[in-house]
Structure 1
């Protein structure tokens, strides 16, 4: 619609000129106006995309590139100074009563008059202790088995110790260390070989490293089966997935975590096909914690959404779209989290109905405020596909339609506020790729996923990782210990 002064000017034109100008206006409205509106919407959408970072969306920190967002934590300031607090118990070195070695430093002469003191007894002894490593070297043990021929003619041979099967082989300590360095400290083959060469003066081949990890992978077959069966019975479990590079392809690494266990498996797909093949979610009947990836809603009876993701999305709406309700709703979620933590600190197992009702009323009021700030106007009917909505509208509809899942942590104390425990388990996979690059084969990814499942599960149950790996190469009892129902 043209402004009124411009319309008056057009009416004062001669008839031929007026008809021409009106035709141009009609042509513009028909051909360009809708196109300009479409382009403006597209520009806004692209501006929204480049405004997202790891602080206000689900994008990982690695995607921030050179322009890192200023840190802005959701935690409130405590007013305490950085570092150890008053009353904090230190963890400094302590002298031991029985050191491994003792070295006596004698007084030979008087520093003043040079008199010999060699035969004089010491008045007292001052002690200082030094923590250090012994010389690092490989120890080669030769096992010798006697062979005796009896008078009856039978030849008798002594048995070699269990696990000593070849003429020359590596023992459980070095095998455990190599797997520890590759699958826990995330070193690639070449750097692991350099480590052994520098520390022990011993040269390894890539084939040896591969064979040791292949042996560990085979030993953990029973562990993986028991772990998957155990996770299907978990009351609460977190699920997540992340992209991994295998050769030139982008595939997916799926995870399932509890407070005591972690499971990883690579797959070509991200959604339901992968979840069906892995086999945990189809049998899972507990509460599934996740980040609103819709495929998870095809499984389980109850769900809990990760509020850490929602807080970042609310931050985006507050900063990009300047909508106050987003900041208020984020503040309310944090207040609910704090109220739950205070109740737990007092030994409570649930909040009172009055408290639940009051916070739920505040929540619903803010949701209505968000809906009013983002009214939905259905576009003209189109042949196929869902109607496109703005980012704030989609977000506030999620808060409206999935309120029970968002607030489940508040009603059920078994449910965590976020899915961070699961994301922490999967975060190191990105570190692995940064250090070592992509996997060179799908088998390599499977080796890493299964061994890493074993290592992270051991860590969660406060079992020394190196000792667990050594036990794996010597005795399979650790497999049953880590996947017992008592550890669930």
Structure 2
């Protein structure tokens, strides 16, 4: 019985050792599977981050980033939210029409003869009412003034003299300011190419005027030289403005890349400056360098070193918030901030020039602004920003740090909420660049 019991114990020991070995093998396998799962989860999270980054890049357009609408590959259909009324198009009954403005006649009025029925029937009597209608047209006339100067010869000295010609009459054929101004405005303001400007003027004059390319190309330099005094006066006036817009964009000068700075005041004065680089070297010798008022710009931190106060363009902030809403749909702060910024701009635009800002309303906006920032901080603490898409988190840090510069327009009625004035002026330049490619 002892021998049998000993054999059973040995068998049980073998079974126990085998079970322990199986358990250890199973634990090792579980540990290996856990390690593989962790690696897979890390790779999955990394790929999701890359996917989010790529989707954010693909979905970037003029609505959620600073990309201009002309550079957007996906053309969005503009929705029409108007409801059909069932009325016919055009002026409605009871609405006072806007008639065409009558012009001052350039030739004697033409009196139309009475109709034949009036001549045949004596019962028709002339009334005091006269119906007046105009037909307006334009004519392109070639105005040529020819000067003759007799030449006198001295038999004693051999000198030849003649009467002096008027100022500007130097060559055998000279073009006056009307032709130069026409070509300059057509080429620059209307963004028409040099060839098209020449062809248009040649067509208007029946092929009599064929201006050379070189002359049209030199008009910009000639205009710049002749307007130096006006530009200096505009520079001085802009320094006295309490608010000034400023912005820059890339351009090309003589085939090389450059930066185009624009400085503009709300009353319409604007000056452009071409610079080789951005930053402080680009601001040098522009109106911004000497300006001591409130600057409105697009969060270019270089501009914070100039002026006395700053207002950031909220149109850019709205677009960046839209991008955060598209790429971080699970967060709520971006939607709340987008609605608040729209509400603040609408409130400000609804004020009349004679009205004053309500301090209670402004304080309410600021308090809501701070609460949304607190919400954003908690959301990013609970779920940190993805390593491959941090635009939303960076935007949160930016609007928290520059809160005063985002809400300055609520404290000063002179300050606009956007930098659209400078944006529109730079858009004119970009249209011209698309036609000219590079400037000389």
TM-score, length-scaled by structure 2: 0.78
Residues 262 and 273 of structure 2 are in contact (CA less than 8 Å); yes or no, is this contact kept in structure 1? yes
Match of 1:173 among 161, 175, 178: 178
Map 1:340-351 onto structure 2 (within 5 A): 340-345=348-353, 347-348=354-355, 350-351=356-357
For 2:48, the equivalent position in structure 1 comes to 40
CA displacement, residues 356-386 of structure 1 (integer Å, 9 cap, x when unaligned): 222211221122122222228889xxxxxxx
Query: Is the counterpart of residue 311 in structure 1 residue 315 in structure 2?
Result: no
Residues 198 and 210 of structure 2 are in contact (CA less than 8 Å); yes or no, is this contact kept in structure 1? yes
C-alpha distance in 1 between matches for 2:21 and 2:277: 67
Residues 293 and 308 of structure 2 are in contact (CA less than 8 Å); yes or no, is this contact kept in structure 1? yes
Residues 52 and 389 of structure 2 are in contact (CA less than 8 Å); yes or no, is this contact kept in structure 1? no
Residues 375 and 393 of structure 1 are in contact (CA less than 8 Å); yes or no, is this contact kept in structure 2? no
Match of 2:287 among 246, 271, 280: 280
Q: Secondary structure at the match of 2:381?
A: coil
Question: For the structure 1 residues 308 and 177, does the alpha-carbon distance in structure 2 shift closer, same or farther, using more than 3 Å as the test?
Answer: same
For 1:190, the equivalent position in structure 2 comes to 195
Of the structure 1 ranges 47-56 and 402-411, higher mean CA displacement relative to structure 2 is found in 47-56
- What is the deviation of 1:419? 0.7
Query: Is the counterpart of residue 412 in structure 1 residue 416 in structure 2?
Result: no
For 1:50, the equivalent position in structure 2 comes to 58
Residues 371 and 393 of structure 1 are in contact (CA less than 8 Å); yes or no, is this contact kept in structure 2? no
For 1:438, the equivalent position in structure 2 comes to 437
Q: Secondary structure at the match of 1:256?
A: strand
C-alpha distance in 1 between matches for 2:382 and 2:256: 40
For 2:67, the equivalent position in structure 1 comes to 59
- Computing the radius of gyration over CA atoms, which structure comes out larger, 1 or 2? 2
Match of 2:147 among 139, 143, 149: 143
Residues 294 and 309 of structure 2 are in contact (CA less than 8 Å); yes or no, is this contact kept in structure 1? yes
C-alpha distance in 1 between matches for 2:21 and 2:110: 112
For 1:334, the equivalent position in structure 2 comes to 342
Of the structure 1 ranges 189-198 and 217-226, higher mean CA displacement relative to structure 2 is found in 217-226
For 1:425, the equivalent position in structure 2 comes to 425
For 2:396, the equivalent position in structure 1 comes to 396
Question: For the structure 1 residues 317 and 188, does the alpha-carbon distance in structure 2 shift closer, same or farther, using more than 3 Å as the test?
Answer: same
Match of 2:299 among 274, 286, 292: 292
C-alpha distance in 2 between matches for 1:318 and 1:423: 24
Instruction: Name structure 1 gaps, 5 residues minimum.
Output: 1-10, 380-386, 445-488
Residues 183 and 197 of structure 2 are in contact (CA less than 8 Å); yes or no, is this contact kept in structure 1? yes
Residues 168 and 174 of structure 2 are in contact (CA less than 8 Å); yes or no, is this contact kept in structure 1? no
For 2:238, the equivalent position in structure 1 comes to 231
Question: For the structure 1 residues 40 and 126, does the alpha-carbon distance in structure 2 shift closer, same or farther, using more than 3 Å as the test?
Answer: closer
Map 1:206-225 onto structure 2 (within 5 A): 206-225=213-232
Question: For the structure 1 residues 330 and 246, does the alpha-carbon distance in structure 2 shift closer, same or farther, using more than 3 Å as the test?
Answer: same
Map 1:2-41 onto structure 2 (within 5 A): 19=28, 22-23=31-32, 26=35, 34-41=42-49
Map 1:451-470 onto structure 2 (within 5 A): none
C-alpha distance in 2 between matches for 1:376 and 1:300: 39
TM-score, length-scaled by structure 1: 0.71
C-alpha distance in 2 between matches for 1:274 and 1:27: 54
Q: Secondary structure at the match of 1:344?
A: coil
- The one of the two structures with greater contact order (alpha-carbon pairs below 8 A, sep at least 6) is 1
- What is the deviation of 1:159? 4.9
CA displacement, residues 281-314 of structure 1 (integer Å, 9 cap, x when unaligned): 2222111101112222232221101111111222
Residues 153 and 160 of structure 2 are in contact (CA less than 8 Å); yes or no, is this contact kept in structure 1? yes
- What is the deviation of 1:318? 2.5
Map 1:104-183 onto structure 2 (within 5 A): 104-106=111-113, 110=116, 126-134=131-139, 136-144=140-148, 159-183=164-188
Question: For the structure 1 residues 332 and 18, does the alpha-carbon distance in structure 2 shift closer, same or farther, using more than 3 Å as the test?
Answer: closer
Question: For the structure 1 residues 15 and 70, does the alpha-carbon distance in structure 2 shift closer, same or farther, using more than 3 Å as the test?
Answer: farther
CA displacement, residues 158-196 of structure 1 (integer Å, 9 cap, x when unaligned): 554333333320011111101110111111111111111
